[in-house]
Amino acid sequence: MNTKPDDIHRLLKKAVKSQIDIGTKEIIINRNSAKLQINKCDGQTDVLNVASEAELFNQINTSTLGEPEFDSLEAHYDKICNCQKCPLGKTRNKFVYGVGNPHADLVFIGEGPGRDEDLKGEPFVGRAGKLLDKILEAIKFTRDDIYILNMVKCRPPENRDPLPEEMEACSPYLIEQLRLIKPKLICLLGRVAAQRLLDTKTPLGKLRGTFHNFMGAEVLVTYHPAALLRFQAYKRDTWEDMQKLKARYDEVTR
């Protein structure tokens, strides 16, 4: 498929930003051949042919997270906990970083803190959080076994969806957390987290049921616990997703 020059420029701009976020040290763009040459931290060089946005981001998302900049989650938290990169920093009560096992093989990612999370400074502690605890218990997990975080660290006003620019401002923090934790599996809770992390507009229902790839980790998408509180019919599908997730977890950690 041919790509117009303005499309190539847009794709390369997005690709460069994505690579900067994940820690690539040097990027070389060859305009004449419309290729993106990436000199990785290990000294190896990859060349990506720009054919389409889907192909480009598939190649990026199947790369690895790279090495963390910080020594620990605690050091990372200390550096970013007073962040004011977007307007959410001015309206929050508490910065909601994440909680759980810092070396977990499985990470759960939601969209953003709600009222209870904003007050306590911990993700998933309201009604949806209590339901998530029950879901974890059903597949033989506790919060000490996994790690839980959100796409954004501060509560959006009135619990609205995080805006794209707010998630973009927070994305380097999320990437660094994943670099430090090095999970084998990621479970994305809800449409917002799924579409953002997988860079897609595909509906959540169509993203379910199969494993995707995000920078070396296997990713499963399911409904947000808050959606289960509103729509009981989603519980059967979520249970199927959790069984699939637990079976894969047992395989990759055996």
Judgement on whether residues 167 and 236 belong to the same structural domain of the protein: yes
Judgement on whether residues 195 and 231 belong to the same structural domain of the protein: yes
Q: Is 219 a member of any domain?
A: yes
Average pLDDT, the chain: 84
Strand order across the beta sheet in which 147-150 lies: 99-100, 147-150, 106-110, 185-189, 217-222, 212-214
Q: What is the CATH number of the domain that holds 82?
A: 3.40.470.10
Judgement on whether residues 105 and 35 belong to the same structural domain of the protein: no
Domains: count for the chain: 2
Judgement on whether residues 106 and 201 belong to the same structural domain of the protein: yes
Judgement on whether residues 117 and 179 belong to the same structural domain of the protein: yes
The per-residue pLDDT for 41 is 45
What is the domain range of residue 100?
A: 73-252
Judgement on whether residues 215 and 106 belong to the same structural domain of the protein: yes
Judgement on whether residues 21 and 103 belong to the same structural domain of the protein: no
The per-residue pLDDT for 166 is 97
Q: Is 135 a member of any domain?
A: yes
Judgement on whether residues 127 and 215 belong to the same structural domain of the protein: yes
150, 100 in Cβ contact below 8 A?
A: no
Query: Is residue 6 over pLDDT 60?
Result: no
Judgement on whether residues 48 and 87 belong to the same structural domain of the protein: no
Q: Is 67 a member of any domain?
A: no
Q: Is 66 a member of any domain?
A: no
The whole-angstrom separation of Cα 81 and Cα 77 is: 5
Q: Is 68 a member of any domain?
A: no
Q: Is 229 a member of any domain?
A: yes
Judgement on whether residues 103 and 200 belong to the same structural domain of the protein: yes
Amino acid sitting at position 102: P
Model confidence over 223-237: pLDDT tens digits?
999 999 999 999 999
Judgement on whether residues 157 and 200 belong to the same structural domain of the protein: yes
pTM for the whole thing? 0.77
Copy the structure tokens of residue 37.
Answer: 């040459």
Q: Are strands 217-222 and 212-214 parallel, antiparallel or unpaired?
A: antiparallel
The per-residue pLDDT for 112 is 97
Judgement on whether residues 45 and 161 belong to the same structural domain of the protein: no
